[in-house]
Amino acid sequence: MAANQQLGMRIKDLREARDWSQRECADFLGVHHVYLADVELGKRNLTLANIEKIAAGFGVTLEELFKGL
Amino acid sequence: MAANQQLGMRIKDLREARDWSQRECADFLGVHHVYLADVELGKRNLTLANIEKIAAGFGVTLEELFKGL
């Protein structure tokens, strides 16, 4: 499975672990909720700057975000 | 320091640990050597697809590539 799909699933897990809806999470991360939905489905080829922003929003390091990937 | 700069330094370390020149490494990874030079200097906002390609080329996981970041 491509890294973008695996990362999308990881981001969804992190969001759901916080009981956030996609809209709440998108607002908190400062991204559009449609973008977040696409990311979770693995439909976006994220840039490292956006990955860094998402990791910071969830309060995890990049190493933690990519754990097991 | 931004993630792209930190990752660039990590990629340079991985290349130098293998005694590869930038040109040898770029050829091996299937990227242009100027692109690789920019990446090592933190001047590119890498996409996850390219990060995945670089990690695979060095034979490391994404978690290993981002160790400590």
**Torsion from C-alpha of B46, B42, B25, B15, nearest 10 degrees:** -120
Residues of A in contact with B52 (CB under 8 A): 2-3
pLDDT single digits (tens) A24-68? 999 999 999 999 999 999 999 999 999 999 999 999 999 999 999
Q: What is the pLDDT of residue B19?
A: 97
The torsion angles phi and psi of B18, rounded to 5 degrees, stand at -100, 5
DSSP for chain B reads --HHHHHHHHHHHHHHHTT--HHHHHHHHTS-HHHHHHHHTT-S--BHHHHHHHHHHHT--HHHHTTT-
Rg (CA), chain B: 11
Q: What is the pLDDT of residue B25?
A: 97
* Chain A residue nearest residue B1, CA to CA: A52
Residues of B in contact with A1 (CB under 8 A): none
Residue closest to B4 by CA, chosen among A26, A56, A50: A50
Would you put residue B59 in left (φ > 0), alpha (ψ -120 to 50) or beta? left
Q: What is the pLDDT of residue A27?
A: 95
| Residue A4 CA, distance from chain mean position | 10
Comparing CB atoms, the residue among A2, A46, A66 nearest residue B63 is A66
Which residue segments constitute the domains of chain A, with CATH numbers given? 3-65 (1.10.260.40)
